[in-house]
Chain A
Amino acid sequence: MPTQDLTDIRTFLTEKVIKNYSGIFDKPTTDRLAVIRHEKVSRPVIYIGTGTCGVISGALSTLERVQKYVSENNLKADIIEVGCNGFCSAEPLLDVQLPGKTRLCFRNVTEDRAEDVLNSVFHHTLQNDLTLGQYKQPGLEEWPNVPMLEQIPWFNLQTRHILKNAGIISPVSIEEYIAGGGYKSLYKTVLNYPADKICEIIEQSELKGRAGGGFPTGRKWKIALDTAGDQKYMICNADESDPGAFMDRAIIESDPHRIIEGLSIAAYAIGASQAIIFVRSDYENSLNILETAIRQAKEYGLLGEDIFGSGFNLSISVRQGAGAFVCGEETALISSLEGQRGLPRSKPPYPAEKGIWGHPTVINNVETLANIPGILENGPAWFKAMGTKSSKGTKLFSLAGKAVNTGFIEVPMGITFSSIINNIAGGVKDGKALKAVQLGGPSGVCIPPADLDTPLDFEALSGIGAKLGSGGLIILDEKTCMVNLAKYFIDFLQNESCGKCIPCREGTKKMLDILEGITRRPKEETTHETLERFKGVVQLESLANVICDTSLCGLGQNAPNPVLSSLKWFREEFEEHIFDRRCAAGVCHDLRTFYIDVEHCNGCNICQKKCPENAIVGSPKMPHFIIESKCTGCGICFDVCKFSAIYFK
């Protein structure tokens, strides 16, 4: 915050705001808060999204270019790095706010476009192709012919409470968070309520754990609170190791103080004075941001000893996960924190009774904790009003895969997957047809288009045999082979299986063998292998069920899901692979047989030269052909042919 003196702001916030959180602020205070929130600016402010998604898209180069622009033109402007507003495929996102006017948001502002975009704002000649929209800011002059950001398809179906600040405020500015009402819920909690009342409020709100299990959060807290223990631990699980999900990373990078506040309230509710945030080591940016945020909260006295003079003490430490998928499981995470291999333990005893070093421990994931400040602020009835009968509130999803728009979203429970895909994600990329939606990470399921009108709800989903999972939503187009995808997931899970229990360790290996068998090149198969392949296929389903029933932890119990769900909904595709030895999508390379279309081949010779097996014959300027018995199906000819004369069956 370069324009305003930080010490000055700090004194103001500590004296006027934090100490007076229960009362009503006078006009000068509310005005000053609006200035700290950048709702009113006295000089232009340029915001650049430098979350990981922005950085991948080149936001750092854009930032440099913008800094150069500002200094070259002698502009008196502030540049603020923010997280991401969720629309990751539009990154690098650049917002500009001029005094008296509403804040504008621009999409895909790469380094080379930065100057044009800034010129267009400062000269009031907006380019429509890069303008995403303007923020709704009553009292400020609106830009003509620019849509409201909340009305564009990406945002209009979303209900943003957890993501309220995402991409808008600086993640490393506790001042902006406090100015927006941050830490008010913590204030209310520690000064007004006893711990059991907080558990009750959360239980009344019917908030369920967002990591996939769906256990009522309030009840979990109550168990830990009621368990006697001189030391209790509150852990935030930010070891988001589901490939394809990145919401936790996004919240941390965009609004870290919301998590710290949620975690502090949770710690108070269970009577813990120690909290740990367990973050994936690959998320370097998140780690740095969290460390900064914790330091700032300590400086403001919001962490440490005697918080708000209530006598409540809390210290939060950050621990890096060392990279093991199984550590998403509560007991494995505890083993890892204790300095051991991340092996799960049998439950009961549940961690809430006997967790880390034998002490009562509650583990909640980032999204669950991010919900807490809102519930305390607005009351459990407010939270319960959102969603369906069995699932309340909102849910975050990360949209990835073959969608037109990708990123992370917050939608109310009860919305259908089809409206997420058609409206928010904008459909399937390149005009292809939708084949399925993969929900819930590697041990999730693939839902076919026919079932996409199912509402987003814990009960409705289990009705069709699916689980909500953590919230990774991957869109698959017609060019996806379900057998290959199932093989990919099983390969991943087999690699990540910790090896403690036999069904998971050996079972996933066996399943992988079977899937590899049915995608292997038929010509390379000996009689014995053919027999094995058939035997495997017959046993695949029953093997999967045995693994589900007998594994120790969630990883093993859910590991066969991708196979079982694909078998349920895409059985014909498996049969095509097994009986016809054909992969319609052309993804299973070993099952492809290539042919040359004589109509299109002009004998350019390229494929013949490139073929590593010398399987293509023909004289120059004459159509070539492929000797089937020599062809290994590598597909090089297909890739090099400029005349689309090579096709496969």
Chain B
Amino acid sequence: MDQIFEKYSLKKPENLIPILQEIQEKKGYLTDEIIEKVSVHLGIPTNRIYGVATFYDQFRFRRKGQYHIQVCRGTSCYLCSSSSYLKEIEKLLKVQAGSVTKDKKFSLETVNCMGGCSQSPVIRINSTYYHHLSVADLSRIIRTLREKSE
């Protein structure tokens, strides 16, 4: 984190979002301590930082699972029944979108659009994309990942 602070050494408010982005990129999520440190570094009150961090979809305050599943619900994916995928994954993992499984292996979230509308419906697990999956494919992929993590 010190490296990031060094990179954005100027106490300019416009550095707030890039700092938070880089910290999240490294750590995976933001915590209260991080917000306090950023607040001291930039001289911005914590309440303002919370205001910014909770406004944008990108920032998260909860740890991601080992496998982070993103289901696209852009218009095109929605029309190509991405919601049924989401339901199926929720059923398989026994969690709701926006949360993490108890064993911390999987986290599930919906995203507005991944820009893969021509391939819809699209799902991303960590950095791998999947498209046009069947229900059987989905459960097979999740089973394989689960076995791999054990």
The interface of chain A, by Cβ under 8 A from chain B, is 52-53, 55-57, 88-89, 91, 240-246, 249, 280-283, 319-320, 322-325, 336-342, 398-402, 406-408, 438, 441-442, 472, 474, 476, 480, 485, 488-489, 492, 496, 498
Contact = CB atoms under 8 A, between A and B. Distances in A.
Contacts of A91: 118-119
A499 B116 CA distance: 29
Nearest to A326: B55
Q: Which 10 A-B pairs have the closest CB atoms?
A: A243-B74, A88-B118, A322-B56, A323-B57, A243-B113, A400-B117, A244-B75, A406-B118, A400-B76, A339-B13
Given A244-B117, A281-B58, A322 B15 contact: no
B52 interface: yes
A344 to B, nearest CB: 13
B118 A398 contact: yes
A604 B16 CA distance: 63
B51 A322 contact: no
Nearest to B127: A284
A402 B55 contact: no
17 contacts: A52-B116, A89-B118, A89-B119, A241-B113, A243-B77, A243-B78, A243-B117, A245-B113, A246-B117, A282-B111, A339-B17, A401-B76, A401-B80, A402-B79, A406-B119, A480-B79, A498-B55
Nearest to A55: B129
B75 A243 contact: yes
Interface residues of B, number: 38
B112 interface: yes
Contact of A339 (B52, B75, B118, B130): B52
Nearest to B119: A56
Given A241-B113, A243-B113, A244-B75, 16 more contacts: A52-B129, A56-B119, A56-B129, A88-B118, A243-B74, A243-B75, A282-B114, A322-B57, A339-B15, A341-B51, A398-B117, A399-B118, A406-B119, A407-B118, A408-B118, A492-B112
A468 B122 CA distance: 26
B99 interface: no
Contacts of A319: 17-18
A282 B113 contact: yes
Contacts, number: 133
B21 A281 contact: yes
Contacts of B113: 241-246, 282
Contacts of A340: 13, 52
B62 interface: no
B89 to A, nearest CB: 17
Contacts of B18: 319-320
Contacts of A406: 117-119
Contact of B117 (A241, A245, A280, A489): A245
B58 A240 contact: no
A441 B74 CA distance: 10
A324 B57 contact: yes
A461 to B, nearest CB: 19
B119 A53 contact: yes
A342 B56 contact: yes
Interface string B64-79: 0000000001111111
B120 interface: yes
Given A243-B75, A244-B113, A474-B76, A322 B17 contact: yes
B102 interface: no
Contact of B131 (A56, A323, A338): A56
Interface in B92-139: 111-120, 122, 129-131
A573 B52 CA distance: 41
A378 to B, nearest CB: 30
A399 to B, nearest CB: 7
B112 A325 contact: yes
